[in-house]
Amino acid sequence: MDQLLLAKPGLSIELAKKINGEIVSCDSMQIYKEMDIGTAKVTNKEMQGIKHYLIDFVSPENRYSVADYKKDAKNAIKEIINKGKVPIVVGGTGLYIDSLIYEIEYQTIEFNQEYRKQLEDQVKKEGLDKLYEQAKKIDPLAIQKVSKNDEKRILRILEIYHATGKTKTEQEIESRKKSPEYQYLVYALNWNREELYERINKRVDKMIEQGLIEEVKKILTNHKTFPTAMQALGYKEVVQYLNGETSKEEMCEKIKMETRRYAKRQMTWFRKNKQTIWLDGQADIKDNINRIIKDFNT
């Protein structure tokens, strides 16, 4: 049984209709409740009757690890297969995807809360640069996939080493000994850079119009802690604006800039995956679906 990894909801939903599929989300932020606008979470109307898994089920106050995702995604995949349907895994969170297609076993690690606070305090006082360089010395391979602005993943590298004495890379190498349970077809959409950036800019403007600022305000009111959720792209910039650290215009431009950077990192990530089959993002959806169905039936 094949699983399909795609990056565009419209394409995946139309594909699901054609091949009797159901969709497993592979987005590390769409898992959170109340975070709808900033994550571009698919609506019930947009689902068009196609069942989606692993969306909107975790409180912003809770942590959710790659290990959690792999377990939940595997359960969802089994449920879909048992129905006689085809699982379609959709989203661009590289770590989540790798956990499935490479069977990476991420061990449960008990993190030291005092060490975490120490790192977070250092970021507030000195910025991320020193911690980025520290992580680079500890795990140069892992840091290649991490932006200098990605606080969450920089701290993750340091925390793993502090908690286990092993680097994140060493743990991943040890964990890839198990053969994949399923055969995966991995697809990604390749966009013209100018068009991609234009789409990103319009998307951010639309999110602001739809009420992203109000959405963040509600989350801040309803919850006391946000260990991961408020690190999401778009949300942390709005928090900075609400704290008076930036103007509204600066906030919007920063979200656009960071989203463009994130898209670039995604493209780099999937290009390193030799399994990735690239589809033309500008092509007609029907053409891409026909290509996928042809591969699927081969």
What CATH number has the domain bearing residue 122? Answer: 1.10.20.140
Most confident option among 46-50, 123-127, 192-196, 227-231: 46-50
Residue with more model confidence, 252 or 9? 252
User: Which of 11-20, 49-58, 102-111, 270-279 has the least mean pLDDT?
Assistant: 102-111
Question: 38-42: which pairs have CB atoms within 8 A and are 24 or more residues apart?
Answer: 38/207, 38/212, 38/215, 38/216, 38/232, 38/233, 38/234, 38/235, 38/238, 39/232, 39/234, 40/203, 40/207, 42/9
In this prediction, residues 72-77 reach a mean pLDDT of 96
The token duo for 251 is: 């906030």
Helices of type H across 192-247: 193-210, 212-222, 235-242
pLDDT tops 50 at residue 205: yes
pLDDT, residue 277, reads: 93
Residues 147 and 188 grouped into a single domain: no
Using CA atoms, how far apart are residues 291 and 287, in angstroms rounded to an integer? 6
Residue after which a domain boundary falls, among 174, 189, 216: 174
**Amino acid of residue 141:** L
Q: Is 27 exposed, middle or buried (0-12, 13-18, 19+ CB in 10 A)?
A: buried
At which residue do the structure tokens 């006689």 appear? 84
Residue after which a domain boundary falls, among 128, 154, 174: 174
Residues 71 and 193 grouped into a single domain: yes
pLDDT tops 50 at residue 91: yes
Q: What is the pLDDT of residues 245-286, one digit of tens each?
A: 999 999 999 999 999 998 988 888 888 888 899 999 889 999
pLDDT tops 60 at residue 4: no
Residues 191 and 68 grouped into a single domain: yes
Residue with more model confidence, 171 or 196? 196
Using CA atoms, how far apart are residues 45 and 231, in angstroms rounded to an integer? 28
Using CA atoms, how far apart are residues 29 and 52, in angstroms rounded to an integer? 15
pLDDT, residue 7, reads: 47
The answer to whether residues 104 and 175 touch, using CB atoms and an 8 Å cutoff, is yes
Using CA atoms, how far apart are residues 117 and 112, in angstroms rounded to an integer? 9
Residues 21 and 137 grouped into a single domain: no
State the virtual CA torsion across 234, 41, 157, 140 in degrees, nearest 10: -80
pLDDT, residue 152, reads: 82
Residues 72 and 218 grouped into a single domain: yes
Question: How many domains does the structure of the chain reveal?
Answer: 2
Q: What is the pLDDT of residues 165-183, one digit of tens each?
A: 889 888 777 766 677 888 8
Residue after which a domain boundary falls, among 174, 200, 221: 174
CATH number of the domain within which 93 lies: 3.40.50.300
pLDDT tops 50 at residue 1: no
What is the radius of gyration, based on Cα positions, of the chain?
Answer: 19
Nearest one of 215, 199, 212 to 256, comparing CA atoms: 199
In this prediction, residues 119-131 reach a mean pLDDT of 91
**Amino acid of residue 108:** T
Residues 132 and 243 grouped into a single domain: no
Nearest one of 32, 20, 26, 27 to 223, comparing CA atoms: 32
Strand, coil or helix: 4: strand
In the sheet where 2-6 sits, what is the strand order?
52-53, 21-25, 86-90, 2-6, 183-190, 276-280
pLDDT tops 90 at residue 216: yes
Residues 133 and 242 grouped into a single domain: no
Q: State the Cα angle at 37 between 289 and 75, rounded to 5°.
A: 55
Using CA atoms, how far apart are residues 153 and 143, in angstroms rounded to an integer? 9
Quote the percentage of the chain above a pLDDT of 70. Answer: 94
Residues 194 and 278 grouped into a single domain: yes
